[in-house]
Structure 1
Amino acid sequence: MSSRKIQTFRKRISTENHFKRFWYGGLASMAACLVTHPLDLAKVRLQTAAKPGQSLIGMLYHIVTKDGITKIYSGLTASLLRQATYSTTRFGVYEYLKELYINKTHNTKPSTVVLLPMSMVAGALGGLVGNPSDVVNIRMQNDSTLPSNQRRNYKNAFDGIYRICKNENVSSLFRGLSPNLVRGVLMTASQVVTYDIAKTFLIDKIHMDPSKKSTHFSASLIAGLVATTVCSPADVVKTRIMNSKGSGQSAISILVNAVKHEGIGFLFRGWLPSFIRLGPHTIVTFLVLEQLRKFKLGM
């Protein structure tokens, strides 16, 4: 067999292997979702509250005492569907673009300047694919806070999508798409790129073992801090739009109106619960992801 045919064969095998692990990011994020969903629920409730000031613990206590312990997992099916769509896409596209770059440059490790646009493309595509499930997710999580005559009472994520299409229109599934795309770009750029950079720094500069969970934990903790801070404004605006009854307000008008009446702190409302949720979510995601890579599940 000629060297050219061997090279083509190796590239084909590499591509096939990549698509076999395309879903690693989605599976890892779904596992993290099972751990952090109650915190995500409390975060959404805090972001949509008419009056700021309630703590994360206070919100969780309120949910449990008013609605029951099982309600801390309200909207879980939508959260899982969101991770299955949004995270599978953004992680998969990001890893694919990285591998494509490495193959094209003969194993040259991509720099931050290269990783950032890759992550932005991956995040935007993830935000687009995951938007319908995100709309249902936020509505299901916030449903019990509405007056009984305004509640949607979706049975699960698929029922929510079906009823939105039936009772509203398909375009309602893409409500809040603009801030969601922005958030997807910011989240992926700040989370996965920060993780890659932090992991490289810990290995190269501090000489931590690349195979140890402590290395993965430290890098993911840094990524969680950066991602929470960068994404907070877009996340708050996105939540407000998706939970609305269709007032027709744009993301900019909602942002300006909220800052005017609630102050600049509105942009970072729920930062602590966001980090308490996103921090563990990021850590669990990357720990599971690294284990999937280690054992080459499905390869």
Structure 2
Amino acid sequence: MGLKGFAEGGIASIIAGCSTHPLDLIKVRMQLQGEPNPNPVHNLRPALAFQNGSSIHVSPTPQTPQIKPRMGPIAVGVRLVQQEGVAALFSGVSATVLRQTLYSTTRMGLYDVLKQKWSTGGNMPLSRKIEAGLIAGGIGAAVGNPADVAMVRMQADGRLPPAQRRNYKSVVDALSTMVKREGVTSLWRGSSLTINRAMLVTASQLASYDQFKEMILEKGLLRDGLGTHVTASFAAGFVAAVVTNPVDVIKTRVMNMRVEPGAEPPYSGAMDCALKTVRAEGPMALYKGFIPTISRQGPFTVVLFVTLEQVRKLLKDF
């Protein structure tokens, strides 16, 4: 019974992850807007000096970075397609599939196991659902972190100048290149953030879905069918987006940072990244990409739970 929960959760998560991948990619690009260039060396321009009427090159001087106006999700999406082509909307989709296979299969299956274990006949109290979500999310994130790092990097690659791009061919190439160049520990870069975010996502998403669904059915607002599943899942997606967006912004920036050999990393950790982001861009920077987050989290959660309910029906006799 327990293994079936893992299979059901995994199938639903992979379908939901692939169908909403372009929205996730736009969200990542928006979260990186306004971030200073971690490699000022690429931002240098040669200064010119004049001698006997002719110009000669001298050592480069730092070029003042231009502050680009922030763009909304539609503008980000349109520019992405214009500059990188329609296929770029699915950059890193192989990492999404791996991430959902590792992370979501684990968290959905564990949540199901804990729910069955802790339910005593009736419905499980909300506090217990949240507890089950926190445990399942944390373990799932630890398992899936390497795929998460690869996904963020592959999605962010197109915004870098061609000379700085990592150009990973696939998620396998991304993971092997990271291990070769940055060591095995780079696969768990930002893992504390991933784990915190996953605990919050799973607790807010799965627990609130169950809670909203039970409430709708108990009050007789709708019957147990598609209408109930869509309503409960969209409400759960909104709750999850509000709770997790700040952690998501920091996670994206920490995972995407480029650490040059012998150079200071742009951020020493999650807290340092949060403080620098708020100082440089204001507290609302932590809600950067919120519109694409809710635009993705809503449909993702709806597709996830509607698919999950259908998969459960198909597999109920197994």
Tell me, yes or no, whether TM beats 0.5. Answer: yes
1:63 alignment counterpart: 80
2:229 equivalent to 1:216: yes
State, as a whole percentage, how many aligned pairs show the same letter. 41
Residue 47 of structure 1 corresponds to 31
Query: 1:191/1:52 Cα in 2 relative to 1: closer, same or farther (>3 Å)?
Result: farther
| C-alpha displacement of 1:263 | 0.3
Residue 97 of structure 1 deviates from its aligned partner by 0.6
Q: Which amino acid aligns with 1:44?
A: V
CA-CA distance at 1:146 after TM superposition = 1.1
C-alpha separation in 1, matches of 2:219 and 2:97: 37
- 1:136-169 Cα distance to aligned partner (Å, 9 max, x none): 0000001111122221111111111111111111
What's the counterpart of residue 132 of structure 1? 146
1:25 is aligned with what amino acid?
Answer: G
Q: Which amino acid aligns with 2:297?
A: L
By percentage of residues, which structure has more helix? 1
Partner Cα distance (1:297, 1:83) in 2? 22
The answer as to whether partners of 1:41 and 1:72 remain within 8 angstroms in 2 is: yes
* Paired residue type of 1:257: K
TM-score (norm 1): 0.90
Aligned partners of 2:141 and 2:300: how far apart in 1?
Answer: 18
- For 2:191 and 2:302, how far apart are their aligned partners in 1? 27
Deviations 1:53-100 (A, max 9, x none): 211010110011111111111111001111111110111100001111
**1:239-279: CA deviations, max 9, x gaps?**
00000013151100110011011001111011011000111
> Structure 1: 5+ residue runs without aligned partners?
1-16
Q: Is the 8 A contact 2:14 2:97 kept in 1?
A: yes
Q: Does 1:147 align with 2:164?
A: no
Take 2:294 and 2:69, find their aligned partners in 1: how far apart are those partners? 17
**1:120–1:185 CA contact under 8 A, matched in 2:** yes
Q: Taking structure 2 as the reference length, what is the TM-score of the superposition? A: 0.85
Match of 2:202 among 177, 188, 200: 188
Q: Does 1:275 align with 2:310?
A: no
Question: Aligned partner of 1:71: which letter?
Answer: A
Alignment partner of 1:110: what SS?
Answer: coil
Structure 1 stretches of 4+ with a deviation exceeding 2 A read 50-53
Q: In proportion to residue count, which structure has more strand?
A: 2
Aligned to 2:307: 288
Look up the match of 2:241.
228
CA apart distance, 1:101:
1.6
Cα deviation digits, residues 102-125 of structure 1 (max 9, x gap):
3xx3x2431112111111000101
The one-letter code matched in structure 1 to 2:308 is L
**Which sections of structure 2, spanning at least 5 residues, go unmatched?**
35-67, 260-264
Structure 1 residues 18, 54: CA separation in 2 closer, same or farther (over 3 Å shift)?
same
Contact 1:75 1:141 in 2 (8 A): yes
**Alignment of 1:19 onto 2:3:** yes
Q: Following the alignment from structure 1 to structure 2, what is the Cα–Cα distance between the partners of residues 52 and 185?
A: 34
Q: Contact 1:20–1:298 (CA<8 Å) still a contact in 2?
A: no
Q: Shift in Å at residue 297 of structure 1?
A: 6.5
Greater shift in the superposed pair: 284-293 or 45-54: 45-54
* Structure having the higher Rg: 2
Partner of 1:256: 275
